[in-house]
Amino acid sequence: MLVDVTGTPDFTRKPKIELHVHLDCSLMKNALHRLGEPINEADFRRIYTAPERCDSLLDYLNAIGPSCAVLQTAPALRIATEELIRALAADGVIYAEIRFAPHTHRNGGLGLDAVMAAVTEGLMAGRAATGIGAGLLLCALRDYPPDRNLPVIELAHRWRDRGVVGVDLAGDEAGHPAATNRAVFDRAHELGLPVTAHAGEAAGPDSLREVIELLAPARIGHGVRAIESEDMLAEIKARNLHLEICPSSNIQVGVFGAYGDHPIDRLSRRGLSLSINTDARTVAPLSLSLEYRRLAKCFGWQTGEFLAHNLEAVRHAFLPAAGKEALSARLVDGWGGKDQVVARTSAQRL
């Protein structure tokens, strides 16, 4: 067990924001039932969940195979997206940005626009069924050449009014520098698409610097290895970059040894803008409520920390201002008022 959360509060009913969750790592058991492939819990865990500790990020990425194999038809993509949104709502999430790499869902012969049609149909169905807010982030992949990633950016642009809120760079960080795909993200900026990028997870501050300087993202997926460099911490703060942090996922792929070694609390105390995310709800398996219990247990986080970081998530969500105001008001109300927010300042440096 990663952390014994006995005695911690249940956060299920507290309103939460999730900015970093992958569709192909979050295939729900209900989706398989609806697709006519009922499966018991033990088999579901055995087939679709990665080991609690993987040898590397690459090892973990390989564990996504069975989920990805299912997500190759229009009904599977539609139902998986809808069921993920239902799971997010049941977990108390009021707004989520769900990401996926469209090219990885074409083995059944679907074109890129057919993939988008299926996922957005599921998005709309999920939003209608639950009333929560949800948008899509399309991932370019590090190990793809620019001529394969550029169509993903154009796709995001075409589907922007139909659920897409931004683009991401994902994939094997240690083996593939971001520089290869610089022109791809130049095009995203040209089109005015909000950009986030995975960095500072499987590689350190040099990889973060490369991504920040060449891709100019507004947010970083993970970014946790910024803790290795004072200069990088200062740079992230100076550029007002937001870190989408996924503590359990980092432990699972071996970025840090034990949960208590994770730098999220130190990054928070240093005043960095960050949010709490699952990354993967099935491959882990994990909910945001469980992640909050682990943070409460290991770092003593309470309402103040959780509200503050959810408000930061809204501030950096790829949403228009009006939508942000409404979400912030719901968070403040649901967590018991703004005076609960803990001011994390540089005066609190550890």
Q: Which residues contact 141 (CB under 8 A, 6 or more apart)?
A: 101, 103, 104, 148, 149, 169, 170, 171
Please give the residue whose beta carbon sits closest to Zn ion in the complex: 279
Nearer to Zn ion, 57 or 184 (CB): 57
Amino acid (one-letter) located at 158:
R
What is the closest distance, in whole angstroms, from the C-beta atom of residue 201 to Zn ion in the complex? 8
Cα–Cα distance between 234 and 314 in angstroms, integer? 22
What is the closest distance, in whole angstroms, from the C-beta atom of residue 246 to Zn ion in the complex? 7
Residue 171 half-sphere exposure toward CB, CA atoms < 13 A: 19
What is the closest distance, in whole angstroms, from the C-beta atom of residue 180 to Zn ion in the complex? 19
What is the closest distance, in whole angstroms, from the C-beta atom of residue 173 to Zn ion in the complex? 10
Instruction: Label residue 293 exposed, middle or buried (CB < 10 Å: 0-12, 13-18, 19+).
Output: buried
What is the closest distance, in whole angstroms, from the C-beta atom of residue 308 to Zn ion in the complex? 23
Nearer to Zn ion, 83 or 279 (CB): 279
Nearer to Zn ion, 184 or 332 (CB): 184
Residue tagged active-site, from 201, 244, 291, 305: 201
Sites of contact with Zn ion (CB under 5 A): 279
Question: 85 vs 125, 133, 215, 298, CA distance in Å?
Answer: 9, 9, 29, 28
Cα–Cα distance between 346 and 250 in angstroms, integer? 25
Amino acid (one-letter) located at 196:
T
What is the closest distance, in whole angstroms, from the C-beta atom of residue 221 to Zn ion in the complex? 5
Q: Is-contact 104 68, C-beta < 8 A?
A: yes
Classify 235 as helix, strand or coil.
helix
Nearer to Zn ion, 142 or 270 (CB): 142
Examine the residue annotation and report whether 325 is marked as an active-site residue of this protein.
no
Cα–Cα distance between 328 and 183 in angstroms, integer? 35
Phi and psi dihedrals of 345, rounded to 5?
A: -125, 165
- What are the E-state strand segments in the chain? 16-22, 93-100, 133-141, 164-170, 196-199, 219-222, 242-245, 273-276
Nearer to Zn ion, 92 or 221 (CB): 221
- What are the E-state strand segments in 125-210? 133-141, 164-170, 196-199
- Reference 83, options 245, 282, 251; nearest CA is 282
Nearer to Zn ion, 130 or 277 (CB): 277
Nearer to Zn ion, 265 or 279 (CB): 279
Q: Token pair 């169905």 is at which residue?
A: 125
Question: 102 vs 167, 188, 282, CA distance in Å?
Answer: 11, 16, 19
What is the closest distance, in whole angstroms, from the C-beta atom of residue 141 to Zn ion in the complex? 12
- Name the residues annotated as catalytic: 201
